[in-house]
Chain A
Amino acid sequence: MAAAAPAPVAGHAHAVLRGRLCDPAFVHSCLRSSPDTNYSKLKYLVASSVSEACNNSVLLLGPRGCGKGAVLDMVLEDLRKEHPDAISVIRLNGMLHSDDNCATKEIARQLCLEHQLSFSKMASSDDNTEFMIDMLRECGLAHKTVIFVLEEFDLFAQGKQRLLYSLLDAMQSLTSQAVVIGMSCRLDADQLLEKRVRSRFSHRKLLFVPSSLDDIQRLMEHLLMLEKDSSLPTNYVTEYNSRLTSIFSNKKFKGVLDSLTDTDATTSNILRFLFRVVSYMDMESGLLSMECFTDALSSMQRQPKMDSLQDLSILELYILVCMNRLEDKEQKSYNFNTIIKEYKSIQDAYKTSDKYATTVCFRAFEHLLDRELITFADTKGRNVALEYRPVKLLISSRELAQSLNLNTTCPAVLQKLLDRERYM
């Protein structure tokens, strides 16, 4: 019986599931079995250039979070097992090594590390480049493949592309034996290359796309189903799995899945969702329920702007409404002083109890700036006093109207002010 399952079992299952979700190798391991995936294509490509001792280059393209890096890691791991001494991997990241000198230095450092050589920090960039070319030749002679992994490939294509050129140029010689694998979330990454680089690049591209709904369901099962032969008690596993199967076949679950994938169907988004689901697990019984899924979905679909609009005090709302009125009057720019003028005129017209001094309004104005619901319209002019700098709204009037409707404490005058000017 589920309720009788002691808490340690739940804790253990919880830890297992979290460990799975945080381990990219496990997440993508189901690709290994199926043919005709990017995994098998990439593996074939790299494995053939290792075994046939030739040079190659390939680009992995696709939006972030589709598993480019994870697939590559799996391929490299497999190759390391199959050819234990025949490959060495050099990893560079465009965010860190887009500077040419820095990149050559890093290559030299990793090459030294791989081949148990001592690395000199003082070596110049030319020395490092020369060293790299020598090493490529040596490795080629020893039938060892050097695999260069360039993450954020598009960032290497900024500037003079000296690194890419020297890498790809070194691969033109017969002696060398290297594979360059670029990864980028820019689908036009190969168009960024200069002519001299592009001509040396083999135009192999693998496209990664967000998975289909069926794949996602399979992925979820793969991630959440517990195995029978694990260290967990068998009756707990059966109970857990049958619960999960019934959830998966539930119609409501299909709705949750649809609304999740409508916004973002990448694997990373699914992982984040499942992570939340697992964190909502009932720690008494160690079972997942439909509520876990719906709660996780609602917490992922928050609208931050609407949330912070709900957090405003009445005075802050008044200022927003004033700004909205000014924008509707097509005043091309306005600042705190004009807002206050508008505010005062409203207060004079309606005689509300919310008439406050300018200093108080200014503090509310600053709160709004802090919350980033409004911002300065210009970037320069830092030396002008705040009340004279032109500002603009960062929310639409629809959002404002919606939040006023939701706000129970909002005075009726405010809604009237907002509504009226819309029909005028």
Chain B
Amino acid sequence: MSQPITPRRATRATAFAPDSPTSPPKSRPKSSHRRQLLAAAAGPKEGEPLDALLDALPCRRAQATDLLRLLAPAPALPVLLHGGAATGKTRALLLALRHLRPSPRLVYAALRSLPSPRALFASILSQLNALSSSSSSRQRVPDKPSDFIAALRDALAAVVAQGELVYLVFDNLEVARGWDKGGQLLSLLLRLHDLLRLPQVVLVYVSSATPDAYYTMTGSVEPNHVYFPDYTVDEARDILMRGQSNPKLYSSFLGVVLKPLFRVTRRVDELAALLEPLFRRYCEPLGDLQAVPDEGMRRRLFEHLQPHLAVALNETFSVPMRASVEKCKDDISGGKASVKRQFGGRDGLSSELEFHMSVSAKYLLLSAFLASRNPATLDAALFDSTGGSDNRNRKRKSSQASIDRKDTMAEEILMKGPGTFPLERLLAIFQCITSVSEDVLDEVDCPDSMMDGSGTNALMSDVLLQLSTLCNSNFLFKSRSCPLEGSARYRSNIDEDLALKVARSVGFPLSKYMYRR
């Protein structure tokens, strides 16, 4: 339970492994699972019947048969698999290839894990060289497409000459569009069929982008498309039901929660990660997990779950930190009241800060936040010696015209996001707010600061060091130096909720200093 839940990484393991969608998600990364599949696909396994294949691909019967028919006997035109994330494209392909007889050579390149064309070329060639096992292993990795094609043709011809089929798979094709010269590489990859002219080599592309993303770059042989649609509610239920120890109980649970959650997301991997803690909560009132629920018990369980469900809907996808997981545990004993309080909070998030930070870093973060949100012209008014009260008086006097102007300004802030500021302004604000809160700090005893009477000086020390820490941890963004002024400018990346939390933790009246229309 102390293990943080990572919905994204456990995807295929939890969603598809028939053994355990409800057991705590193993932190088995996607790639290792895929590597298993790959190893299995390459290995000389005994032929399994078609039914076993279709069984391993729940709710993908149509796609799998389509795929098999298009790939099956040797000469085949290129195939493009497309569909949203977590729809089982890669899994279906790899299992289908494993199913083929005689088992073909598989060369698999996932473009997401190969960051450059050079790495892609190296990976493909090394896979082929390892397979043909004879040719020179000490080859230089080609970085020009022409050299790569020549090397690839030689390597493939060597394999094909032994009477073998080769399936060349390019996964995550959409990633290459973002690469430097990615367009050229893609048109090269999509025209490989023409360039190689080897009928024994079948090209398969897997992409989460739709085929029209490649229309500008395709060659004469456009691949045949196989579309993988997202799962429907019933299919998602079937998949989630697989391998449950108590199917009756789980199906009554799904009957309650699946429909509302499905309105938010249709991705089975996200649903599986989300359902797992909910199911544990659902079972809490039960002594015996193997019990078959009757009507009364179902109603009781539903009433128990209902408040949690409302929270879960709004907490979907937020990854709980260790601290808040602990807190959830406390809530369990607290019962309904605490849940409601939590839900009442802004966006259902907890109001506690979930990480530790030194007091001076907190003040620095707050001043950066203020510098980003407030217009620079208001600094003098906000931070002058008379403090915030005078400022509020001045605000009331504003005329209708200026209110309108401020409205458009607020609109602009909504559009443009936080502004940038120079280091000098940050330091000035920092000095102001630390000096203002000096008296507050005297009264409030901060346990984790080493401040005494001369607090301001202590806070001012190492301020640049703190600043670089904040930049490195991505709380602040440091832009390249401005061509006119020559110095670097900063921007704060935190949102208002976090800023308010930080302010609360040091007892700083942040809202007093925030500029609002």
Q: Which residue on chain A has the smallest CB distance to residue B416?
A: A388
Inter-chain contact B415/A388, CB cutoff 8 Å: yes
Given A354-B263, A357-B348, A359-B347 in contact, is the A334-B191 Cβ separation under 8 Å?
no
Q: Which residue on chain B has the smallest CB distance to residue A70?
A: B220
How many angstroms from the CA of A404 to the CA of B156 in the assembled complex? 48
A36 sits at the interface (CB 8 A)? no
> How many whole Å from A320's CB to the nearest CB in chain B?
14
B246 sits at the interface (CB 8 A)? no
Given A307-B227, A308-B84, A383-B479 in contact, is the A95-B191 Cβ separation under 8 Å?
yes
**Proximity string of chain A (367-379) to chain B, C-beta cutoff 8 Å, 1 when within and 0 when not:** 1001110000000
> How many whole Å from A284's CB to the nearest CB in chain B?
14
Inter-chain contact B266/A65, CB cutoff 8 Å: no
Contact of B69 among A11, A23, A280 (CB under 8 A): A280
* B-chain residues with CB within 8 Å of residue A304 when the two chains form the complex: 82, 210-212, 227
B407-442 with Cβ < 8 A to chain A: 414-418
> How many whole Å from B78's CB to the nearest CB in chain A?
10
Inter-chain contact A18/B75, CB cutoff 8 Å: yes
> How many whole Å from A75's CB to the nearest CB in chain B?
16
How many angstroms from the CA of A98 to the CA of B199 in the assembled complex? 26
> How many whole Å from A144's CB to the nearest CB in chain B?
25
Inter-chain contact A311/B73, CB cutoff 8 Å: no
A392 sits at the interface (CB 8 A)? no
Is chain A's binding surface mostly helix, strand, loop or mixed?
Answer: helix
Given A95-B187, A363-B317, A370-B84 in contact, is the A69-B348 Cβ separation under 8 Å?
no
A194 sits at the interface (CB 8 A)? no
Inter-chain contact A311/B479, CB cutoff 8 Å: no
- Stretch binding the partner chain, chosen from A53-61, A81-89, A271-279, A415-423: A271-279
Inter-chain contact A64/B145, CB cutoff 8 Å: no
B493 sits at the interface (CB 8 A)? yes
B144 sits at the interface (CB 8 A)? yes
Q: Which residue on chain A has the smallest CB distance to residue B187?
A: A95
Inter-chain contact B262/A14, CB cutoff 8 Å: no
* A-chain residues with CB within 8 Å of residue B313 when the two chains form the complex: 356, 360
Q: Which residue on chain A has the smallest CB distance to residue B85?
A: A370
A100 sits at the interface (CB 8 A)? no
How many angstroms from the CA of A275 to the CA of B143 in the assembled complex? 35
Classify chain B's interface size: 35 or more
How many angstroms from the CA of A387 to the CA of B208 in the assembled complex? 23
Inter-chain contact A18/B347, CB cutoff 8 Å: no
How many angstroms from the CA of A341 to the CA of B418 in the assembled complex? 17
How many angstroms from the CA of A97 to the CA of B144 in the assembled complex? 10
* B-chain residues with CB within 8 Å of residue A64 when the two chains form the complex: 219-220
Inter-chain contact B263/A315, CB cutoff 8 Å: yes
Q: Which residue on chain A has the smallest CB distance to residue B478?
A: A383
A82-110 with Cβ < 8 A to chain B: 93, 95-97, 99, 102, 106
Inter-chain contact B314/A356, CB cutoff 8 Å: yes
B213 sits at the interface (CB 8 A)? yes
A364 sits at the interface (CB 8 A)? yes
Contact of B75 among A19, A106, A268, A367 (CB under 8 A): A19
B254 sits at the interface (CB 8 A)? no
A258-287 with Cβ < 8 A to chain B: 266, 268-269, 271-272, 275-276, 279-280
A341-395 with Cβ < 8 A to chain B: 341, 354, 356-360, 363-364, 367, 370-372, 383-385, 387-388, 390
B149 sits at the interface (CB 8 A)? yes
Inter-chain contact B194/A311, CB cutoff 8 Å: no
Inter-chain contact B227/A334, CB cutoff 8 Å: no
**Proximity string of chain B (212-228) to chain A, C-beta cutoff 8 Å, 1 when within and 0 when not:** 11000001111011010
> How many whole Å from A25's CB to the nearest CB in chain B?
11
* B-chain residues with CB within 8 Å of residue A333 when the two chains form the complex: 415
Inter-chain contact B73/A15, CB cutoff 8 Å: yes
Residues of B within 8 A of A (CB): 66, 69-70, 72-77, 82, 84-85, 144-146, 149, 184, 187-188, 191, 194-195, 199, 208-213, 219-222, 224-225, 227, 229-230, 262-267, 313-318, 347-349, 414-418, 477, 479, 491, 493
Q: Supply 11 A–B pairs (Cβ within 8 Å), ascending by A.
A: A21-B77, A23-B199, A272-B224, A302-B225, A305-B210, A305-B212, A307-B229, A337-B414, A359-B315, A359-B318, A363-B316
Residues of A within 8 A of B (CB): 11, 14-15, 18-19, 21-23, 64-65, 69, 93, 95-97, 99, 102, 106, 266, 268-269, 271-272, 275-276, 279-280, 299-300, 302, 304-305, 307-308, 310-315, 333-335, 337-338, 341, 354, 356-360, 363-364, 367, 370-372, 383-385, 387-388, 390
Give the 7 A-B residue pairs with the shortest CB-CB distance, closest first: A388-B417, A304-B210, A22-B75, A96-B146, A311-B230, A357-B314, A64-B220
